[in-house]
Amino acid sequence: MAAWRSSLIAQRAATRAHLPYVWPAIRYGSDGPDKVVYVRLHNDGPGLAQDVVAARYEPAGPGGDWIPLEQSSVIRGIRNSETFPPADAEELSLEAHLAGDDVFSVAVRWTDTASQRWELIVPQDPKQLTGKPRKLRHRFWQRWRPPAEW
């Protein structure tokens, strides 16, 4: 039992030592009366983040699911301690928030080097905290998301 527990802890430590952690720095701009959302992505984890996508999440309706309305193009890789786009370039635009309210979040998805897909949702409500990244598929029997759902 002790050998099993020791190997489990060693495996988890080795896995965590190579996980990326991608988070968005969000800035608001204006296009007339509309609020435009700009994003700069940072990888603060020690690993390489592959196929990174950022999207603006909004509710589909009252009490409905949240859906991505505008997403960035796929970024093939962000190394550790790297920022995309670089500090001297213009930020990624997630288009104008036209709903007329302040209810939206920014979601970032990436793949680690073990081909596990991750998601981090950053709410824009000042009363909510950012949660920890979650795996998009936990077990082998769970269904993959269609490519249209990014």
Q: What is the CATH number of the domain that holds 56?
A: 2.60.40
Tell whether 8 is covered by a domain: no
Whether 146 is in a domain gets the answer: no
Residue 9 falls inside a structural domain: no
Question: Which helix (DSSP H) or strand (DSSP E) does residue 11 occupy?
Answer: helix 2-16
Question: Is 32 inside a domain boundary?
Answer: yes
Q: How many domains does the chain have?
A: 1
Q: What are phi and psi of 147, to 5 degrees?
A: -60, -25
Residue range(s) defining the domain that contains residue 49: 19-135
pLDDT one digit per residue (tens) for the chain, 150 residues: 888 889 888 888 877 777 898 999 988 887 777 778 889 999 998 889 999 999 988 777 676 677 778 888 899 999 988 999 888 888 888 887 665 566 778 899 999 888 888 889 888 877 788 888 888 875 666 665 555 455
Secondary structure (3-state) at 89: coil
- pTM of the predicted model as reported, rounded to 2 decimal places: 0.78
User: Which token pair is 87?
Assistant: 């500090």
Token match 């635009």: residue?
93
pLDDT digits (tens, 9 = 90+) for 50-78: 999 999 887 776 766 777 788 888 999 99
CA within 13 Å, CB half, 57: 20
Q: Is 144 a domain residue?
A: no
pLDDT value, residue 98 = 62
Q: What is the pLDDT of residue 115?
A: 82
Q: Is residue 117 part of a domain?
A: yes
Q: Does 49 reside within a domain?
A: yes
Q: How many helices (H) and strands (E) does the chain have?
A: 1, 10
Q: Quick check: is 3 in a domain?
A: no
